[in-house]
Amino acid sequence: MERTLRPLLFRWWSDPDDYQWRIDFIRSLGLLPALRILVAAIGAIMGVMAALTALVPPDSAGVWPRVGWAAVAVAGLLWVLRWLLRDWPTLRQSVLLVAVADIVITFSCVLLLDPMSAIASMPLLLCVGGYVVFFHGPKVHAGHIAWSVLSVLAVAVWMALAVGDASGISLAANKAVTALLVTVAILPILQFGFWLLQASSMQSLTDPLTELTNRRGLSTAVARLGAAYPVSAPLCAVLIDIDDFKAVNDVHGHTVGDEVLIRTAQQIRSCVGRDAVVARLGGEEFLVVDRLHSGPAILVADQIRRRIAEPADPPITVSIGLATTPHHLHHGNLIDKLVDAADAAMYLAKRRGGNGVALTSEVL
């Protein structure tokens, strides 16, 4: 058990934050707008509560606590505006928002001016923890946990000093453990489990040799591409097949053949945009799907052809078929028609002798 768990935990900690993958996946399901509203609503609720407390503060509150509550209310309003009016945050912006939310929540708890009430409100940090579990990796989560632990311990010391005897220490310890149980013990386990599911999902949708999208993951990847662009954007499919690949395997062996496939995948990826879908459909056949008009798509296809034909050991060439359409992805089974058209064009390029690009008429 330990031998299995230790390398998994190391991989979990070492893996880069797959924040953008999660955002793209949620966007492809059409759930991103609802999540934006949910995150904004949490800030709105806290802002309204802070505003009400500033207007009708506890009897013991002076001027400065009321100013603090007013500041929290303004922060809540800015939070709502940021999530509703701007694009989903980048990775760096998201980490900054997590830090700001942690600070504002802790500050609002301290403004209650009563350690018992403050520590009872500390579980509000779970809202931030839930967001981090879902969208970020263990390093960002570790920062959130560290802040939560320091905040709760500081309030617990405040409570113990306020009571002033042994019972105060016992009560403070009990409240601190209760406030931190979910944050420190349960949420990291949930994040680790979520990472395992995500890693398994990504592996099932990825070709293990080239690390490109496989045929099974193509529909998901194309859906993410469609969600990231306006529906009016054009669409193109570039189908790439290695010429005489069987001869490469027969002469050099399958190990070299695998190296050629890996090299070809890397060359294709280097020629296309960051958002383009690059897939290995099986054997020596690759596919690029992107949001390009026919003119730029022809340039990309020819750049791929020339890049792969550069001197290498063993040397190879490719036949490329290109199909384009002005329609968007929600237009019936358009992607299947587009790939079929690109496939027909690719065979035309092969009949012409290979190492070329063939273009079909627009798919309507």
* Structural domains of the chain in order of their starting residue, each with its CATH number: 2-30+89-204 (no CATH), 215-359 (3.30.70.270)
What pLDDT is stored for residue 328 in this prediction?
60
Q: CB under 8 Å to 116, separation ≥6 — which residues?
A: 159, 175
Nearest Cα neighbor of 295 from 319, 273, 318, 324 is 324
What pLDDT is stored for residue 204 in this prediction?
73
84-87 CB contacts, 8 Å cutoff, 24+ apart: 84/36, 84/37, 84/40
Nearest Cα neighbor of 287 from 249, 338, 330, 231 is 338
End-to-end CA distance of the chain: 56
The pLDDT averaged over each successive group of 10 residues in the chain (364 residues) is 70 82 78 91 92 79 83 94 92 95 93 87 90 92 94 90 80 85 86 80 79 84 71 85 94 94 96 91 93 91 96 94 77 77 94 93 63
* DSSP codes joined into one string, 43-58: HHHHHHHHHHHHHS--
Q: What are phi and psi of 310, to 5 degrees?
A: -60, 150
State how far Cα 337 lies from the chain centre.
Answer: 29
201 vs 111, 138, 297, CA distance in Å? Answer: 44, 19, 31
Q: Give pLDDT tens digits for 78-135.
A: 999 999 999 899 999 999 999 999 999 999 988 888 888 888 888 889 999 999 998 9
What pLDDT is stored for residue 362 in this prediction?
66
Please state whether the predicted TM-score (pTM) of the whole model is above 0.75.
Answer: no
What pLDDT is stored for residue 194 in this prediction?
81
What pLDDT is stored for residue 61 in this prediction?
65
What pLDDT is stored for residue 3 in this prediction?
55
Q: CB under 8 Å to 8, separation ≥6 — which residues?
A: 196
Q: Which residues pair with 358 in a beta bridge?
A: 321
